[in-house]
A and B are shown apart, each in its own frame.
Chain A
């Protein structure tokens, strides 16, 4: 990362247009078009925050620009409050954020496309009703938005106003960078990748989705003020629905999550209509939307992440080739020993937890029942895990083991039952809060944010200890920078302990399955949770690798002094490492006890192999 951010470095260039214009270069309308491109770029950044980072859809982004513009108009109008432009900009941002908050709260507690539904309804309500209110827009007569003014100097020249626009864009860019370099950006990307994984890392998914929308609303408000004062006018027709759709095109084609891609795409879509019509005549009016929309459909079908992602993937494939070559050499029986898992001290940001003495239980689930429609997945299941032990949970497929994990970790609300961690009843706590209380977990299908790098995943895994506020993240005042440094050094330590330095910046999806498992374990342990739930950690591993895993599991218990609850199908591994075994079958607890003894019980063998084979299996 650069010491001096790019936008700051380029900021002085913002003054160029004023100089060039006075030197007679380009007509005023050219500068106007450039200003338009800058406004669209700002609008694109706002939607990118929501769609590119957090993966949610808004069909009303241009309407939010309208909110910002009308707010600014109300404050700066000569016959209204006549405040200076620079006072109006923060107000426009606040208005955009406030409206986003109101719209977002009902929609974002729910998964899926509800935000798209709400924003399209919002757009129509605004465009056809609210924006037509006299007090706001004076109908089609519209309100005047004057150019900024310093004493007697009014920026009527488009080139002069362009300076202001460029500076504002640079400011938005800086805020955007602050977001992506902080826990907020990582949380957004985790939410976009996989909400369950994000929650297991302690991210409050609903809250972060709302934050993404509110931030995008604030950006949109600023963009709206920028745009409104460029055209110096806003009426009820100034913010049509198709512009919101065009913004979606811009962001998707530019590349979801790529700032530069969005800037280029926005500039293109702002300028093309003007210059195409100039070059080829009126017959081409409107073609930008047609082509853009067609491009959008085909891009999304092939590359859901937009053209920037397609580009990035190509580059990555070339860069990552050497990583894959390493994997090819590392597979098979000559698998290198699994690295020692990092012993990291308890991070300072966590709340105090009661110390667990050996022999006490640390995790307890009592009478948990879960049904899905007509299917009883778990019936009255109880489990008690004592400190400093490795407890195994086995059972045939469909027995309810992962369901029990989901109930314990908070991804599922059981129909009845209680879950307690370290003496505290956590039954009512959502998944991300349980992560804060000291519960770590891995997933059957590798719970990592696949598009993020190993380092970013390790940073994400420390979300619960990233103890700085949103405000601090945005402005970099306060603890954000120091906490980020701490997180990064822990992540680097973990990577070094795992011997993964060369993969530090490789996206996780490029690693082999076994390597991903290792990273996942590292992530589960990086915030030193008291209890770790591991869902089939040996899945997909060769016998040699599984033996290494056994060594590491014992390390977690003996050296790191943690507690492990393990779902497994690999019985030899289970017999090797577990201190105690629970057997689940058909949603019910079948057996509990000392591993070697439990696996010889006829009812356990019957559950796995069916009736009639107990004798053979018992003597095996």
Chain B
């Protein structure tokens, strides 16, 4: 196991950064678990989609990015926002519909945007962010920066026509965009293979886009693949299509409780044998990068972070009713 860590290009990650990756993944998991708990107690209104099980994709991708690089996310987007540097308190405030939320309570779970760290916003239309992120990459290229832009989307978005339109333009114009497909194998309530033809990777390669299938539950593999894509983008080498194989532990959303479209055995297998946090923790401990007491400390710190975040969100006031008419138009 330690050799595996050493062999990866991620050897450039020192111990502090490796522990940071673990801590971020744990933060996402604890955030999602707490959000589901609060939702169940009707403290969070609306819709909620958990990314538990997919933490390594968000963290591994965003670890390869700078603050001024762009991302945009999906309805299952809390992990991406946290991985790109969102404050937990303002995240919870937004989920509660509070004034100090990232969108002043106007966006909610599915629309968190954070301009300070290049998060163009989560998008509740499946595939909705794909052309927007491609346009941000066009903008970066026209402004002659070396920024890259990452579009996160699920396997469900593979069958939206806008993906082809966007990928084609990214390819002909050699745009610094990374299409990060989180293949959790279910588009809402339907198994991917029932509704998705052919070899997914060829949807990129057929357009001349560098494409790779990656173990999305291995945070260092995710990081390595993304670093290669980022390098390609920064040096003008064009887009990359990354397919991260991963798994959504819970249902599509909070109303999807009994999940009749998949087996409990399959869920158990992913949770017990391929969990991204357990695997990474074992590797870090094996390689001597993390001691059991350091692991305990990280867990304690993350629990505190989540608790303080919930407190911040709870304390935050609801928006002034007059807020409803603000920001329909910019000045």
A pairs with B: no
Chain A residues packing against B (C-beta within 8 Å): none
